[in-house]
Amino acid sequence: MSSDFLRPFIGYRNGQLMVEDVSVNDLARAHGTPLFIYAKAAMLQALATYQRGFAGRDAQICYAMKANSSLAILQTFVRAGCGLDIVSGGELDRALAAGCEPHKIIFSGVGKTRAEMRRALDAGIGCFNVESRAELEVLDEVARSMGQRAPVSVRVNPDVDAKTHPYISTGLKGNKFGIAHQDAVETYLFAASCKGLRVVGIDCHIGSQITEMAPYLDAMDRVLDLVTAIEAAGVPIQHIDFGGGLGIDYQGDTPPAADTLWAALLAKLDARGFGQRKLMIEPGRSLVGNAGVCITEVLYLKPGEQKNFLIVDAAMNDLPRPAMYQAHHGIVPVLPRDGATTTWDVVGPVCESGDWIGRDRELNVAQGDLLAVLSAGAYCMSMASNYNTRGRAAEVLVDGAQAMLIRERESVADQLRLERAL
C-alpha cells in the first residue's frame, strides 16, 4: 500500500481503491453491489494488538461474534486462537460450525431461554455470563434437571459512564444489563448455594465504541473491589472478565490501541494484587470494524434547492448504523475523479426518510460510479435485514492477492423459501 492509505490494508494504488492486493472495482464488477469486502490481514493485525497486550498472561480473547458473525470471519479468529462470545442459541450453532472449542465459548445476554441453556450445557461451553437473579434460578433448575452444574460468571453493573452513544452504553444504573453493584455479593452467595451452578468468574461490560481509557480504569477498580468483597464472603473467583467495547476510528476518533489500553489495565491489576488471575475479554468491533468496506453503485444524482441527493443501491437494511445511531461512516470513490466536488446527502432506495448513509459529503461522482463505505466490518452485515424484500449483500474475504466469496447474494427465492402462501 502507498502511504496514502484510508484504513490498514485498504487504500489507493495506481488510481483505484484496493483491499490488500485486490482491486475493489474488479470485485464489484464480478460480484455486484452492494458488496461487503473484508481484509483478513486487517483483522489479524487488530487481533495481534490484543495478543501483544496479553503476552505472558493467563488470558483468553473471545471474539464478540455479534459484531460480524459470518462463518469465514469466525473461522479466521478461531484459527488464530480466539474463543467466541455468543448471545443466542443461533450464535452457539454458528460458533460450533466455525470449529470453536466449546470450552472457549462464553454465553452472554439478558434473555437466555431454557432451550438455549440446555443446548449450551449439552455442548459443554466454558461459561454463562448471567445477568439477573431470575436467570440464575432458571439456569440452576435446568442444569439440575440434566444432572449438571453450569459454570457461571455474574455480570455486574459498575455504574460507570462509558461516554458513548446511549444505545450502546451498558454499564449505567439505567441500562438493562447486569446485576447492580450493591447487590453483587448477595447474588454471588445465592449462586454459590445453588446445586446446579458452579461459580467460576465475574463479568463486566460497560458499553461499545469507547474511545477513552478512563471508563475502563474506573470499571476495573469497581470490579476488583467486588472481587475482594465476594471472596471475603467465601466465594472464590477464578477468572475476571472485562468485556470489550473498545472503539475504532469512524470519523477521526482516537481510541487507545488495545495493547496500550491493556498495559494500563494490567498495571492496575498488578498493583492491586490480581496480576496472576485468569483474564477474559470479548472484543468485537475493534477486531472487524475497520477491516470491512461496503461497495455501492451510484444510481441517480438528484440536485435540489436545499439538498443534493446522491441515491445509491446500498440502504439502511445493508448499513443500519446511520439510521439507528446517527453513525458516521467515511464514503470514498472506488475510482477517484479529478475536478470539483459537490456536497451530497448519500441515501439509499428504501422507502424511509431514515434511509441515509452519509450527510453533507463532498464528492465528485457520476451515475454508475462505485463508492466505498468505510469501517463497515462491524454491526452492518450482522444487523442486515430484508426490509422492502431486499436480499442481503454478498460478502468477499481478501487474503493478500486472493479473494474468496464467503456469502452469496441473497435472492427473493431464498427469502420466500420458508413462507407459505394461502
Name the residues annotated as catalytic: 351
Tell whether residue 284 is among the known ligand binding residues: yes
Q: Give the DSSP per-residue string, 194-246.
A: -TTEEEEEEE---BSSB--SHHHHHHHHHHHHHHHHHHHTT----EEE----B
Tell whether residue 300 is among the known ligand binding residues: no
Tell whether residue 321 is among the known ligand binding residues: yes
Question: Cα–Cα distance between 236 and 30 in angstroms, integer?
Answer: 57
Cis peptide before 34 (omega within 30 of 0): yes
Strands 35-39, 292-302: pairing kind: antiparallel
Tell whether residue 325 is among the known ligand binding residues: yes
Task: Find, among 293, 384, 376, 392, the residue nearest to 334 by Cα.
Answer: 293
Tell whether residue 379 is among the known ligand binding residues: yes
Task: Find, among 236, 254, 243, the residue nearest to 220 by Cα.
Answer: 243
Phi then psi dihedrals of residue 222, to 5 deg: -70, -40
DSSP state of 54: T
Tell which phi-psi region holds residue 56, choosing left (phi > 0), alpha (psi between -120 and 50) or beta: left
The residue to which cell 467515511 is assigned = 330
Task: Find, among 73, 43, 24, 67, the residue nearest to 284 by Cα.
Answer: 67
Question: Cα–Cα distance between 126 and 153 in angstroms, integer?
Answer: 10
Alpha-carbon distance values, 276 to 51, 56, 221, 222, 341 (Å)? 17, 10, 16, 18, 56
Three-class SS state of 159: coil
265, 223 contact by CB (below 8 A): no
148, 193 contact by CB (below 8 A): no
309, 378 contact by CB (below 8 A): no
Task: Find, among 241, 167, 174, 179, the residue nearest to 207 by Cα.
Answer: 167
DSSP state of 169: B
Tell whether residue 419 is among the known ligand binding residues: no
Phi then psi dihedrals of residue 141, to 5 deg: -65, -45
DSSP state of 348: -
Binding residue positions for substrate: 285, 321, 325, 352, 379
Binding residue positions for pyridoxal 5'-phosphate: 245, 282-285, 379
Binding residue positions: 245, 282-285, 321, 325, 352, 379
